[in-house]
Chain A
Amino acid sequence: MEKCIFFGNLRQLKKNRSFKGYGRIYLGNEFCQRLIPAPAEVKQAVSFAGRRKLRFTLVTPYVTNAGLEKLSAILRALPGKSSIEVVVNDWGVLDLVNREFPRLVPVLGRLLTKQKRSPNLDLLLRRDLVAPGIIPDPNNPSGKYLLLQKKFPPAADFYYQGSNASSVPLLQKFLLSKRIARIELDNLAQGMRLRLPAEGMAASVYLPYVYITTTFFCPTAAAFAQKGCLSRRPACRKQCRQYSFELAHPAFAGRPLYLKGNTQFYRNDRCDRGILKKLGINRIVYAPDLPF
């Protein structure tokens, strides 16, 4: 099992003390084109990795045309090592890598692998929960919950634990034809089912943060917007570098969600490497911080 460590930027990478046990550095951002690093920063990160005999993966977000231009500049600046990977979370970026940078190795990012990540799916897929009805509120002796839980049918497990990229042969064949030989997955709380092709395609799993949703309209930047300003894209001063939020809601049965910048996550530390290996996962990508 290959172990990798994921940083949002060069500053975080350089702050990290030990790379013991890791074979590869991931650097970049999946969710915001405003956080695409400068080409010089990426070149420094590649050198930093090289000096420590670590392989390098550049992580890229979904982008507009302006973001594509920024990425083009970075990809042009990357050295011509065949082991450099580019995680793509946008079909346009995949097209760019394949057409203009064939020396780089594209990897299908977790935004495009289409897992179902709703943070209460593990509860919904459990079969041992009580039937719909009124139950006491454990935190309030006089309170009660009306539980509307209905159990999913067993076949739903395939859907909620699987994904198209990790199971559909025609899609996998297509991805292979586009030089995608690795797909990136989250460590879902409800568990995972993978049906990878017998040869040619591998999978990675990200720990411990599972992404849930993302937006161009950044709730963090909006928190600092002028009152009454309802512009769809509030001015960004990269407040996400400093601030994060913990979001609580009874819907998620005590599991906090985390908002970092424009993206929400939940945390899942439960990970059985033996099971991951059996599933066909041969890489763990560990992000020490919420990925920004």
Chain B
Amino acid sequence: MLKIIAPLREKNEVSALIEAGADELYCGYLSREWAKTFTPLEFERKGHRSNFTDLLQLKQAVGLAHKNGVPVFLALNGLYVREQYPLLLKTVRELEQTGLDGYIVADLGLLLTLNKLGTKKELHLSTGATVFNSRAAGFFRDLGVSRIVLDRQTDFDSMREICRDNPGIDFEAFVLFTLCVYIDGFCTFLHAYTAQDRQEAGAGRRGPLRLITTYDPYMPMDACRMKFRARAFKGNRQANRPQPVFYKHLVDSTECGACALYDLARIGIKAVKIVGRQLNSEDRVLGTGFIRRCLDILRDQPGISRRDFNAKVQERYRKSFAYRKKCRGNNCYFPEVLSA
């Protein structure tokens, strides 16, 4: 059965996430020293409020999870330059003392550094490391990686082949929240744009006031959600149409890939991750419980047909996330399974 990996942000969420069905937890850590020196934006891939900021709290959270037999992994999935290494190494040495079970890394330099330091912790590869084929997976296996998180855009055929060709590694896929149109590890947009209108910004003002973006870690906004004004060109000439379609702009509710649970275990995926450390606690617990109940269907009815599974999952989805429409693919990680 697939493991569920749930996002953890605070010590007091550990029990709720485990009770909701998490088999493993993952979290981030951002030290005050790092935030002050280098900004809180990109120590790892999520922003300021997605992380533990107190090492003792983190240690206690790990201890609590371990009491329940649940491992905790830490996302260290930023990209780092030479000048950051002294503080990065100091942070890693501190983290080594917290009892964490492993690191999720994206940066090849950090991966090599952790190996050099002789860490005994598991090394998982973040989507940020962009593995799309069997050889790339083997490349990282040779560097001591025991699990690879496949990018959201990896299709079933590729997943199947990569899993088949790399029996020595576990593979993980995203299954809920935070669908992105771009490839995680190849997107270099700064995720610190502000909201584009006063309602989103919470300014509550009326009148001709516009926000222009910029760096505000308290209002992170993904560039991938921006609504661009687009002009089409055919060759060098401006054309009236078409308009490019950015997938994520079509999303109208919680992003979900639960129907694909039916396929993922059969393909060889070992674990599914609930994305969204930045979301509030209630949503993360709700999401974890939703995925657990979907997996329970497969456990209790191993012979269930794909069509019946889809119907049950979509019914649960609508109830859990107050979605009234029929699933039509726009919120879906794996729209191909809707027509399966």
Identify the A interface with B (CB < 8 A): 62-65, 67-68, 90-96, 111, 114-118, 120-121, 123-124, 134, 137, 140, 142-150, 152-153, 155-156, 158-159, 162-165, 167-171, 174, 193, 195, 211-217, 219-220, 222-225, 228, 230-234, 242-251, 253, 257, 259
Contact = CB atoms under 8 A, between A and B. Distances in A.
Interface of A is mostly: mixed
B136 interface: yes
Contacts of A259: 230, 244
Given A95-B136, A162-B82, A250 B210 contact: yes
Nearest to A193: B81
B133 interface: yes
Which of A117, A232, A257 has the most CB atoms of chain B within a 10 A radius of its CB? A232
Contact of A168 (B81, B231, B235, B250): B81
A231 B335 contact: yes
Given A146-B211, A150-B214, A116 B247 contact: no
B83 interface: yes
Contacts of A233: 155
A244 B81 CA distance: 34
Given A167-B82, A248-B228, 10 more contacts: A64-B158, A95-B135, A147-B212, A147-B214, A153-B37, A155-B38, A158-B81, A158-B84, A213-B223, A222-B247
Contacts of A167: 81-83
B329 interface: yes
Nearest to A121: B190
A120 B138 CA distance: 36
Contact of A213 (B158, B189, B215, B330): B189
A168 B135 contact: no
B140 interface: yes
Contacts of A153: 36-39
Contacts of A168: 80-82, 85, 109
A170 B335 CA distance: 41
Nearest to A230: B329
Interface string B213-256: 11111010001101111111111000100111111001000000
A228 B229 CA distance: 22
A170 B234 CA distance: 46
B113 interface: yes
Given A148-B194, A159-B38, A242 B235 contact: yes
Contacts of B245: 219, 222-223, 225, 234
A170 B113 CA distance: 7
Interface of B: 36-39, 42, 79-85, 107-109, 112-113, 116, 129-140, 153, 155, 157-158, 161-162, 181-183, 186-190, 193-194, 196, 201, 203, 205, 208-217, 219, 223-224, 226-235, 239, 242-247, 250, 328-330, 332, 334-336
A141 to B, nearest CB: 10
30 contacts: A63-B132, A65-B134, A90-B136, A91-B135, A95-B138, A95-B139, A118-B188, A144-B210, A146-B210, A147-B212, A148-B213, A150-B215, A155-B38, A158-B81, A158-B82, A159-B42, A159-B83, A163-B79, A168-B81, A213-B223, A213-B224, A219-B245, A219-B246, A223-B244, A243-B233, A243-B239, A244-B232, A248-B229, A249-B226, A251-B214
Contact of B188 (A68, A115, A140, A170): A115
B86 to A, nearest CB: 11
Contacts, number: 263
Given A116-B190, A159-B84, A164-B107, A246 B231 contact: yes
Contacts of B188: 115-118, 211-213
Contacts of B39: 152-153, 156
A65 B161 contact: yes
A245 B231 contact: yes
A63 B133 contact: yes
B330 A245 contact: no
Given A95-B135, A231-B336, A155 B37 contact: yes
A244 B237 CA distance: 10
Contacts of A134: 209
B213 A68 contact: no
Contacts of A64: 132-133, 155, 157-158, 161
A124 B334 CA distance: 37
Task: Enumerate the 5 nearest inter-chain pairs by beta-carbon distance, A residue then B residue, closest first.
Answer: A92-B135, A92-B136, A222-B245, A118-B190, A230-B329
Nearest to A252: B213
A214 B181 CA distance: 9
A79 to B, nearest CB: 24
A111 B130 CA distance: 10
A165 B213 CA distance: 29
A222 B189 CA distance: 21
Contact of B232 (A111, A123, A159, A245): A245
